[in-house]
Structure 1
C-alpha cells in the first residue's frame, strides 16, 4: 500500500510528499519551506538515512520504519509552536490505538505496575510501549521572511525494527507482535493529527491538549530523575504546567519546573540516571 492521507486531513488542506528513502524528513521539510511551500505538508518515508534526534543525536531508520514530518508555517509566539510536540504525541498515541489490536502490548515502566494506556507519553517527546521507547518526536524551526517561521514536526516510529545500542530500552511494533505497516500507521496518524491540531487551535486550546496529554503521561506520580546538563535532579513527577514544562517535587518538598532534560523513571530513577 502506498502512503496516503486520511480524508479528514485532505479536507483540512493537508498535502503529502512521499519518498521511499530520504536523508532526513525534517531537513527536507524545512528545505521546502525555504523554497516557499505554504505549509500543511507531510513529508514521509519508510527509510531515513541521516535523521536527527534530540540534542543532535543521529537517528537513522531501516526500511519499513516510519519517518514523518509535518511542515507548518506560522507567525506569532514561538513558545506556542514549541507545544506542537505534545499535539504530535497525542496524535501518534491515538493513531497507534486505532491500528494496533489490543493484546500483547502492555505498559510497565522499569518494573512499575501497568497503566491503563497501551501507549504512554514520556515528557517531552517520546511514546512508550511496554516501558520501552517506540517513537520519538523532534521539533525544528527556521525563520522566514516577514517575521514568519516554519516548524518541522518530526515523528519517527519503530515499526519493524529498533536500535539496540541505546542507554534505555527500545522496541518496535513488530517486536510487540503487531503486523501494522508504516503506511497504515501514517494514514491513522494524519487523521489523528487533524483532530488534535484543531483542538490545539494555534495554542488557544493548549489547556485541553495538556489535560489529554496528562491522561497518557508515563510515570505520573512516581519517582523520577532528570539529567540537566550533567546534573541529576530527583523527585516525584507531579504534573506538567500550563506551558507544558515538567514539574517535580524533590525530597525536601520544593517544587521544580524543568524546561529541558533527559527523564528516567522507576527503578532507573532510584538507582541512578
Structure 2
C-alpha cells in the first residue's frame, strides 16, 4: 500500500474516508487544545485539504466531527472558529484551580454550601480515615472562568481544619490555600482519579451545558505531609473548556522475564 507523509502524519492511500476524517480530526483537536489557531479561526477547507492531502469531503467530515463535539462552529461568511478556548490543568502538580489558571482568566467562586455536618457519609469517613460520627465540613462551589461556568466542586474536610476553611474567604480563594493557612504549612500529596461522565440534569443546569453532555469527573483525596487525609473532593469540569495535562517520566523498563 502506498504511503505518504503530510503535516507530520503518515497517511495510507485507499483508506476509508471516515478513517481519514477521524485522523484529521485528531490532529485538529490537538491543535485546538494547544491554542494553535490565531484568534480561534481555523484555515479554510481548501487550505486544510492541501495541508492534510485530503479531499474536500474528508475535510468536511473531519470538521463535522469537531462540530458535534462542540469544539468548533461553522457559519457562512464567518468560517470555522473555536467555540470556547480550552484551558490546561496539570495533573502532575497539586494546585488549586485559580492558581493553575493564573494569567489565563478571572476565576470567581459561587459558594453554594459551606456547613458543618455532624455525621459524615460512611464512604467519605472511610476515605478520611475518621469515624463517621467525628463529623466534618461540607463545601460546594460553582466556579466560573471569565463569566462562564467551568466546574462544580464539592469537598468534605476533616475537623478542625474544615472549620477554618469555611471561616475563610471561599469566594476569593482556593480551598487548598485556606487549608495550608490553617495547617501552618503546605499540603503533602493527593491521589486523583479522572473519568468521563454524562452530566446529570442538575449538574448540567449549573454548568450551562445540556443534560448528558460530557464532563470530566475528578475524584481527589488530599493529604498533609504526614499522610493524614484532610479533603475528599468530587469535581465536575466542563470538558469543552478544560484540557487535563500531565508530564510523565518513564522509569527503566523491567528486564526480560520480570
Bucket of the pairwise TM-score, normalised by the shorter protein: under 0.3
TM-score (norm 2): 0.23
**Higher Rg of the two aligned structures:** 2
TM-score (norm 1): 0.22
